[in-house]
Amino acid sequence: MAIVAAGGRVANKVISEAVNRGFDVTAFGRKDENHTQAQTYIKKDIFDLTKEDLAGFDAVVDAFGAWTEKTLPQHSTTLAHLCDIVSGTQVRLLIVGGAGSLYVNPEHTMTLSETPDFPNAFQPLANAMAKALGELRQRNDVQWTYISPAADFQADGKRTELYLRGGEELKLNDRGESIISYADYAIAMVDEIEIGNHRQERISIVRA
């Protein structure tokens, strides 16, 4: 499997989980040196990746993240580029998604980011990621899976190895929580690569 935008903390958790399970992992990143556990590291920006770079992988994980007003549109442009270079192949493209686009009602007329309590600071990010997801849904030529975390996505949260998988709607556990650690999210991601088959679907993950 390959991980692109491998320098982030979610990417590192996914790489560690995959390597520990025996996967042969290639990481693509912009740093000069490999700071991950991936067996192979290639310094390359997403926009410079080619069909040849990703040919032969069973799965490619897109861990791209942008936060500034200038770079937020790259959620769409980077994802479109990755889709283009795996288009028409059996390579699975799994995207580290966001929670803001999860629906909060059965009618699917309101998303989490549209609720009154959604933090204003995260609104631009949620909008950018929702736009990218909407564009991804139009790609019938790509074996994609979009994986949304719970609303409270904790970088330093504990690894419980227990999670629930949902779909398009915000899922709460039995304690009424929408929470997941990066570590448990990584477990769910690698589980999907290993045994899941949610192709051209969005799924969501919450701590059990």
Residue 127: the pLDDT is: 97
Residues in the chain: 208
Q: For residue 91, give the nearest of 99, 79, 83, 80 by alpha carbon.
A: 83
Q: What phi, psi does 40 have (nearest 5°)?
A: -130, 135
pTM: 0.96
Contacts of 138 (CB under 8 A, 6+ apart): none
The CA distance from 188 to 14, in Å, is 9
Which residues, given as ranges, of the chain have pLDDT below 70?
Answer: none
Cβ atoms within 10 Å of 35's Cβ, excluding its own:
13
